[in-house]
């Protein structure tokens, strides 16, 4: 489709791609996803991205000259490698260069929470608000800040990342090397584990949320 905008959310559990008719529209022409399967390693994630883009191309036509990627963590401007990612196999990897080589298009890489907050400020629930704080609760816990339609990056590019504030210095180990971060209490995997400990049942987070909505 001529003039479309492509974006891919590289999450810890799933990789989701969307094709929009323009940068001003939130109505998807195409939306597809594949599992991340991060436990299989970095090369497998590259393969999953390639598979997803091929599927998107079959449904929406050839990709544009550039694709935007939202990823956990950020691109270190000095090394051009990913850092601070809860998908730990991405840390230290030249993801941008590798996926540009594989796809043959320019790749624009940004923190996923920053992307989310900016999208909500421009097109979503926070449209028109002067200050926006977008919160992601998923495989990890993230956040992005938008002020006056501009993303606040901070010195390290992760100004809104509240998931590694420490709630309990004696709490669970976090992948970042500290203990008791917000992410170790509010991420999807932790909440599922916590529910299992309380109930003896193993349920997914959507199922747990559904039970809560039913008052059970």
- Tens digit of pLDDT at every position of the chain (216 positions): 558 999 999 998 999 999 999 888 888 999 999 999 999 999 999 999 999 999 999 999 999 999 999 998 888 888 889 988 989 999 999 999 999 999 999 999 999 999 999 999 998 999 999 999 999 988 899 999 999 999 999 887 789 999 999 999 999 999 889 999 999 999 999 999 999 999 999 999 999 999 999 988
Task: Report the CATH fold assignment for 128-213.
Answer: Nucleotidyltransferase; domain 5 (3.30.420)
Between the two ends of the chain, the Cα-to-Cα distance in Å is 46
- CA dist., res. 138 & res. 48, Å (int): 19
What three-state secondary structure class fits 36?
coil
- CA dist., res. 29 & res. 72, Å (int): 25
Beta strand spans in the chain (E): 5-10, 14-20, 30-35, 66-71, 74-75, 82-83, 106-111, 131-137, 141-147, 150-151
pLDDT of 173 reads 94
Domain with CATH 3.30.420.40 in the chain: 5-114, 128-213
Is 5-114 assigned to CATH 1.10.540.10? no
């Amino acid at each position: 489709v001529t003039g479309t905008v492509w974006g891919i959310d590289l999450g810890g559990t799933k990789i989701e791609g969307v094709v929009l008719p323009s940068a001003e529209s939130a109505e998807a022409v195409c939306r597809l996803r594949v599992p991340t399967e991060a436990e299989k390693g970095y090369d497998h994630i590259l393969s999953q991205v390639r598979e997803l883009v091929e599927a998107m191309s079959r449904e929406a036509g050839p990709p544009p000259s550039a694709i935007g990627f939202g990823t956990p963590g950020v691109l270190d401007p000095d090394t051009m490698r990913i850092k601070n990612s809860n998908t730990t196999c991405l840390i230290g990897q030249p993801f941008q260069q590798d996926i540009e080589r594989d796809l043959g298009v320019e790749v624009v890489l940004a923190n996923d929470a920053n992307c989310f907050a900016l999208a909500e400020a421009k097109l979503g629930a926070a449209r028109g608000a002067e200050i926006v704080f977008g919160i992601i609760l998923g495989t990890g816990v993230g956040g992005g800040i938008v002020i006056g339609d501009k993303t606040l990056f901070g010195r390290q590019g992760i100004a809104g990342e509240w998931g590694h504030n420490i709630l309990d210095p004696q709490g669970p180990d976090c992948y970042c090397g500290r203990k008791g971060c917000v992410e170790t209490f509010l991420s999807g995997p932790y909440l599922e584990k916590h529910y299992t400990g309380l109930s003896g049942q193993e349920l997914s987070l959507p199922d747990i949320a559904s039970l809560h909505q039913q008052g059970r």
